[in-house]
Amino acid sequence: MPLSITPGLRQMALAAVYFSVMGLLVRLVPALPSMEVVVFRTLISFCMSGFVLWYAGRSWVGKNRRLLMLRGLTGFLGLSIYIYCIQVMTLAEAVTLQYLNPIFSSMLAPWFLKEKGRRREWLAIFVAFTGVVLIANPQASGHWPVAFLGVMGAVCSGVSYNLVRKLGLGGEDPHVIVLYFPFIALVLASPFAAAHWVTPSGWEWLILLGIGVTTQLGQVSMSRGLALERISRATVVNYVVIFLSTIFSFLIGDAISPSSLAGMGLIVVALLIVSYRVPSKLPQSHQ
């Protein structure tokens, strides 16, 4: 009974690594307004994607501009809410709320992509989400409006994942898909950032550069992964972000509770469930 780590799942796992580092870096610049972080992150991403397309001699326009712009809008909303929640909640709470998005992705996939989730994948989502709750143990009773906003951010991300996969299935270049995201975000976020501008210090400039680079790499890997793998199977790998965040906490000296260790174990189980592939039955020869 083999386990199958497909190229799509590998790309999604790589994206999870990049996104987990991005979340950690965002946490290190709490003094900067969230929209300013969004502007720096998207500006770096726009420049990187634009350079890759220019160097390769590819068009920036894209095949389906309406869907690309909608993906950019939903991605902007999801990212802005996520960064805001990281800055006003604990990192564990913000990440927990954001990574509800695989559930919304799978719920929306039949409508966007005509993909029906398999029971095994729904089981993996449930197990992984239980692990997230055990690790983070969010105490959002004192700030329900922010918690609700975080859930809405996860919904936006779920819509965005479906649009990325739809565009990828249509043959859209991953760098074009990524390019529209920062383009829309720059247009929408810049006025808010300018109104509450705080000039970064020396080390904050380096962190902002790291946020932009890691998120860009994560977006490209995610676009490739969602073009290769069904949405309900691909997005559950995002829970690797929770796993890595717990590891980062351990490395910097945070105490990891037994509940967190149990949650990490459940996430590993969920990844095993989602990566398991039943071997096809070959017809037996008659002798």
Q: Model confidence over 24-43: pLDDT tens digits?
A: 888 888 889 999 999 998 89
Q: How far is CA 185 from the centre of its chain?
A: 16
**Which pTM does this prediction carry?**
0.75
Are residues 109 and 117 in contact, defined by beta-carbon separation less than 8 angstroms? yes
Is residue 124 assigned to a domain? Answer: yes
Is position 68 within any domain?
Answer: yes
Could you read off the pLDDT of 93-106 as tens digits, one per residue? 777 778 777 777 77
**Looking at residues 41-47, what average pLDDT do you find?**
89
SS3 276: strand
Predicted confidence (pLDDT) per residue in 61-74, tens digit = 778 888 999 999 99
Residue 242: strand pairing partners:
none
Is 127 part of a structural domain of the chain? yes
Say if CB 16 and CB 247 are below 8 A apart: no
List the beta bridge partners of residue 241. none
Q: Which two tokens stand for residue 92?
A: 């564990």
Which range of residues forms the domain containing residue 240? 7-275
Q: Is 234 a member of any domain? A: yes
- Residue 267 in any domain: the answer is yes
Q: 75 in a domain, yes or no?
A: yes
- Please report whether residue 282 resides in a domain: no
φ and ψ at 115, to 5 degrees?
-100, 120
DSSP conformational letter for 100: T
Number of domains in the chain: 1
Is 283 domain-assigned? no
Task: Say yes or no to pLDDT of 208 above 90.
Answer: yes
277 has pLDDT over 60:
no
Residue 151 has pLDDT above 70, yes or no: yes
